[in-house]
Structure 1
Amino acid sequence: MPRTRSNKHFRAARLAIIALVLLTGAIAGWQWLLVHPQHNPWAPLDLRDPPGWATRTKLARLKGDVDECRAVLARSDVAFTALPATGVGDCARTDRTRLGEYPLAPDTPAVTCPVAAALEIWRRDSVAPAARDILGSELARIEHLGAFSCRRMYGGAEGPWSEHATANAIDIAAFVLEDGQRISVLKDWDGTEAEKRFLRTVRDGACGSFATVLSPEYNAAHADHFHLDQDDRWAGVCR
């Protein structure tokens, strides 16, 4: 009988030690998350934070909440203008968000707020560093082929509506650097080693913040641009 009590006391002590270790680990883990908000799924999204484990999930949450998305832009000191809704039916645009200081050319089109947020992360964490590290110059501007187009996918008379129908997508054609280099998706996808590396790096970088990324490797229709969108039906389509 004494041995039984001794075994019970030993097991209770062991469980107490395990619980203490787990509690200590949980506290340490929570403290670590507090100083690394990019990995903390409960921390408010700030686009100035480096990319982390929770970034993609936080971005995905913005797709159905325009007010929260715009609050994120404001919190992140991203200049933007919220424009009035326009359009009807499948081409109604209830979310028209125009970035204020983004280096798009020939203009800065209104897109959905989730696209705007993803563009900001992509420029900062992928395009600008790749231009600097691979091509040796700072990014000057990003050339696009448009965002809004009231049409179905591939311009067909039937079938699903394109994400462009609500400006929930943008097509990127080229990148211009401060030293005058212009890297075109059409001309330079199979260009020099540096040009090829740059274009594939920024294509892959877009996959971390956009739901859909389509490039010349997808099909001939995308030979001259990257299609970037925030389709809420898909996630992680990167081709």
Structure 2
Amino acid sequence: MSGHGGETGRPVARLIVILILFGLGVAAYLFGRDYVRKHPQDVPWTPLRLDDPIGRFTLRKLVALRDDPAQCRALLRQAGSADTAAAPRLGEPNCGYRDGVTLLPAKSEARFAPPNVVTSCPVAAAMLVFERQILQPAAARHLSSRVVEVRHAGSYSCRRLYGQSEGEFSEHATANALDIIGFGLADGTDVSVLRDWAAGAKGAFLRDVHDGGCDLFATALSPDYNAAHADHLHFDQAERGRSGFSVCR
């Protein structure tokens, strides 16, 4: 009798195990689906939206826009950007751009000085997220004001790294970089990378701005990197960003 009971019990036990595993699978699927819906920025297959919070795959998606300038410009429009397509700049070996975007402030956003700077579209897309989610919150947190002006040293420059006569070309050679030298705030406060990098609240603001840029740009360099960057923050969208790898110094 006991032998037959054991044989009968085994199929029932197997069925219970199958039902438990099925239930766990359904729960995991529902949890995963809900997580993706609430955190699209943290998974690789969801479309990029510039108004989503910054997540694990935001940088990779921004750099991937190099392959689809039309989609990049569409994302800027959807996010309410005033940036406009720039005329292509071609003709010089290893230099120039086809997907240039003129950075223009939308209502309530900071202006660029000098105005009408042109960057690659992936840089423009990252700058929009950067201002809204990194720059303005950092200004409010450390300086109790808003940034109204982003001062820069340019984007496009047909040159090799560090201006050398040989070696790799800089990301500036394709307008795929922007050098920021300081900020003007609504209350009249002036922040200079050269002067204020290690100075109290202004220094804390600049360091937060740089560190936040590391999540949006393939390269984010500061005065801590070397003497050549003593007066600016360098942001670019180098190819390495496709893998999610950034140089943050």
Helix, strand or coil at the partner of 1:30: helix
CA distance in 2 between partners of 1:201 and 1:31 (Å): 31
Alignment equivalent of 2:103, drawn from 96, 99, 103: 99
CA distance in 2 between partners of 1:4 and 1:61 (Å): 59
Q: 1:223 maps to what in 2?
A: 230
Q: 1:153 maps to what in 2?
A: 161
CA deviation after TM superposition for structure 1 residue 221, in Å: 0.2
Q: For 1:52-131, what aligned pairs fall within 5 Å after superposition?
A: 52-88=55-91, 89-101=93-105, 103-131=111-139
CA distance in 1 between partners of 2:214 and 2:142 (Å): 19
CA distance in 2 between partners of 1:180 and 1:42 (Å): 43
Q: 1:213 maps to what in 2?
A: 220
Instruction: Say whether the 8 Å CA contact 2:149–2:183 is kept in structure 1.
Output: yes
TM-score normalised over the length of structure 2:
0.89
CA distance in 1 between partners of 2:203 and 2:68 (Å): 37
Residue 197 in 1 paired to residue 204 in 2? yes
Helix, strand or coil at the partner of 1:213: strand
Aligned partner letter, 1:32 = Y
Alignment equivalent of 1:142, drawn from 137, 150, 171: 150
Helix, strand or coil at the partner of 2:168: coil
Instruction: Say whether the 8 Å CA contact 1:163–1:231 is kept in structure 2.
Output: yes
TM-score normalised over the length of structure 1:
0.93
CA deviation after TM superposition for structure 1 residue 199, in Å: 0.9
Instruction: Say whether the 8 Å CA contact 1:34–1:40 is kept in structure 2.
Output: no
Which region of structure 1 is more displaced relative to structure 2, 13-22 or 181-190? 13-22
* Aligned residue pairs, count: 238
Helix, strand or coil at the partner of 2:118: coil
CA distance in 1 between partners of 2:68 and 2:112 (Å): 25
Listed as ranges, the gaps of 5+ residues in structure 1 are none
Helix, strand or coil at the partner of 1:233: helix
CA deviation after TM superposition for structure 1 residue 58, in Å: 2.0
Q: 2:172 maps to what in 1?
A: 164
Q: 1:181 maps to what in 2?
A: 189
Question: Could you give the per-residue CA deviations for residues 218-238 of structure 1, whole angstroms, max 9, x where no partner exists?
Answer: 000000001110011353100
Aligned Cα root-mean-square deviation (Å):
1.7
CA distance in 2 between partners of 1:5 and 1:63 (Å): 63
Q: 1:32 maps to what in 2?
A: 35
Instruction: Say whether the 8 Å CA contact 2:240–2:246 is kept in structure 1.
Output: no
